Structure 1
Amino acid sequence: MSATAPAWQGSVECDGCAFRRFGLFADLHAEDLAHQPFPIDRLSFGAGDPLYQEGGRGRAVFSIVGGVVKLERLSPSGDRRIVRLHRSGDAIGLEALLGLDYEHTAIALRPMSVCRIPSVAIDDLGQRSSRLVKQLMARWHQAVHQADLCLTLLSTGSARARVARLLLYLSSEGRSHVCDGLTREDMAALLSITVETASRVVAEFRRRGVITAMGGNRFLLATGALREIAEN
C-alpha cells in the first residue's frame, strides 16, 4: 500500500489542549502535565492514508482527535478483513505500550486528525500518575468492547440488518441523522458479506427512502426505519 506522508500540524501542549478531556490524558491533572518533556505531534491524514501498518514496529499510540479509522488484518489466505472501527476520543495502537509490533493496519476512512504519543512518554507519565494507568485500562476495555460490537452486531443477522446497524453506528448510534458511510468494499469487508450484497442493500434502502444520498458516501438517515430493520 502506498503511503502519503501525514501533514504535521505542530507539537501539542496537552495541558492547554481543548481536546484533552476526550482523549487518553483526560483524567490527568495540570501538575501531571506541568513538565511535558516529550513531543506529542498533531498529524492530519487524508482518506485512505495509513496511520501505521500491520507488523510495523510499535513506537506510539494514536489518540483520534477527529475522524474515523478502520483497523484491518490480512487472513492467512490473503483476504482483507476490517476488524474494528474507531472514532474521535479513541486510542489505537495500544499494543505499542507492550513493546509489540502493530497488530493491524490503521487506515483513515475520511480526512482525520490524531495526536501521536510516543510509548516512552506514556510509560514515563504512567510511573508518575496512577490516573493514567486507570485511563489506559479503560482504553483496553474499550478496544475489547469494540471487538465485541463487531462480532455481535455487525457479523450476525441478515445483510439488511448488518448494514442498518453499521449506518446507525457511524451516525453516533443514531444520535445524528447524517452518516459518513463506507465504500461498498469496506462494508463487505467489515460485515462479512459480498460487495454485490452491500451494493444491493444500499440501493434498496435508497429506493425505500431509508437513506438519502448527499454526495460521495454521505447519507441522510431515517433513523427510526433503520432501527426497525436493525432489530429484525
Structure 2
Amino acid sequence: MLLPGKQALQLLEEALTPCIPFTFPPRAVLFDEGEAATHFFWLRSGVVKLVRTGPNGSPHLFTVIGRPRPVGLADLFRGTFSARAEALTPVEACRIERARVLELMQQHAFIFQALTRKLDLEFRRLEERARRLQFCPPPCRLAHTLRDLAQELGLQPDGSLLLPITREELASLADLSQRTLSEALRTLEHEGLLQKLGPRRLRLHPDRLAVWLQQQRALFFPPLTGTRSESMQ
C-alpha cells in the first residue's frame, strides 16, 4: 500500500498521539550534529533551525522549520544526526525514542515506507537545488530563500515576513556574503519585489516574486534534454 507523503505524515502523527511534549527556550539545542540518533522530535509549535558544519569548519544554516513535522526522523535511519537542531523561538516538541519507532514500523510499516520515501525525495531535492543555485545570481538566490521562508513560516496579515534569524544567518541560508546579501536586497527592492520594514521584517509581493523567479529560471535553468525539469517554485 503506497501513501502520499502528506497522508503518511498525518497518520504517523496520529499514531504518536498522545505524547509528552518537551519545551525548549530560544537557543536551546534539541540535538547536535554527529550525536547518535536514538530519537527524533515531532515539532508541535515554534521555529527550529538546522545547522551543519561547512567545508571550512564554520557553521552553515541549512534550513528553517516552522511547521508541525518530524525533526531528525531521517537521521534515525542513518544512525547519527547530520545537523544541529536549535530553537529559534520557544519550541514545543515530542521526543520519540527509537524503540517506539520500531514498534510503529511493525504495526504501520506502510506509513514508514511512504514517509521515508518522501523524506529521501525531499532531501535529494534540497541537495539538487543547492547545487543548481550555486550558478544562480545572488538576487535570484535570495529571492528563492525568502520565498521558501515565507512558505515555511507564513506571512503576517499585512503581507510582511518576520525573520527569526539574524542577517548573518540569512546570508548563510542563501549562501551569500553579507555584502552580497545587502546588494541583493537592494536589487529585489528596486525590482519592486519587497520592501524593508525593519531589521528582521520584510514586506513581500508574492505574485511579482513568482513571475520574476520564473523569468530567472528561464534565463539560467533551461529544461534538461530528455528529463522532466524540476520546478523551482
Query: What is the alpha-carbon distance in structure 1 between the residues aligned to residue 208 and residue 137 of structure 2?
Result: 16
Stretches of structure 2 lacking an aligned partner (at least 5 in a row): 1-5, 217-233
Aligned length, in residue pairs: 205
Query: What is the alpha-carbon distance in structure 2 between the residues aligned to residue 44 and residue 29 of structure 1?
Result: 18
1:72 to 48, 51, 54: 51
Aligned to 1:178: 160
Residue 103 of structure 2 corresponds to residue 144 of structure 1 = no
Aligned to 1:134: 113
Q: Note if contact 1:23-1:90 (Cα within 8 Å) is conserved in structure 2.
A: no
Aligned to 2:170: 187
Alignment of 1:72-111 (within 5 A): 72-98=51-77, 100-111=79-90
Residue 11 of structure 2 corresponds to residue 27 of structure 1 = yes
| Bigger Cα displacement from structure 2, 170-179 vs 154-163 | 170-179
> What is the aligned-residue RMSD (CA, Å)?
3.3
Query: Does the C-alpha gap of structure 1 residues 173 and 83 become closer, same or farther in structure 2, counting only changes over 3 Å?
Result: closer
Query: Does the C-alpha gap of structure 1 residues 175 and 102 become closer, same or farther in structure 2, counting only changes over 3 Å?
Result: closer
Post-superposition offset of 1:65: 2.2
Query: What is the alpha-carbon distance in structure 2 between the residues aligned to residue 127 and residue 145 of structure 1?
Result: 29
TM-score in terms of structure 1 length: 0.71
* Partner amino acid, structure 2, of 1:140: D
| Bigger Cα displacement from structure 2, 205-214 vs 122-131 | 205-214
Query: What is the alpha-carbon distance in structure 2 between the residues aligned to residue 98 and residue 175 of structure 1?
Result: 30
* Partner amino acid, structure 2, of 1:94: L
Q: Note if contact 1:55-1:102 (Cα within 8 Å) is conserved in structure 2.
A: yes
| Bigger Cα displacement from structure 2, 204-213 vs 94-103 | 204-213
Query: What is the alpha-carbon distance in structure 1 between the residues aligned to residue 154 and residue 65 of structure 2?
Result: 17
Q: Note if contact 1:95-1:103 (Cα within 8 Å) is conserved in structure 2.
A: no
Q: Note if contact 2:66-2:152 (Cα within 8 Å) is conserved in structure 1.
A: no
Query: What is the alpha-carbon distance in structure 1 between the residues aligned to residue 171 and residue 13 of structure 2?
Result: 43
Query: Does the C-alpha gap of structure 1 residues 25 and 166 become closer, same or farther in structure 2, counting only changes over 3 Å?
Result: closer
* Partner amino acid, structure 2, of 1:71: L
Q: Note if contact 1:162-1:230 (Cα within 8 Å) is conserved in structure 2.
A: no
Aligned to 2:204: 221
Query: What is the alpha-carbon distance in structure 2 between the residues aligned to residue 25 and residue 228 of structure 1?
Result: 31
Q: Which has the larger helix fraction?
A: 2
Q: Note if contact 1:212-1:219 (Cα within 8 Å) is conserved in structure 2.
A: yes
Stretches of structure 1 lacking an aligned partner (at least 5 in a row): 1-21
Residue 29 of structure 2 corresponds to residue 50 of structure 1 = yes
* Partner amino acid, structure 1, of 2:119: R
Query: What is the alpha-carbon distance in structure 1 between the residues aligned to residue 198 and residue 25 of structure 2?
Result: 18
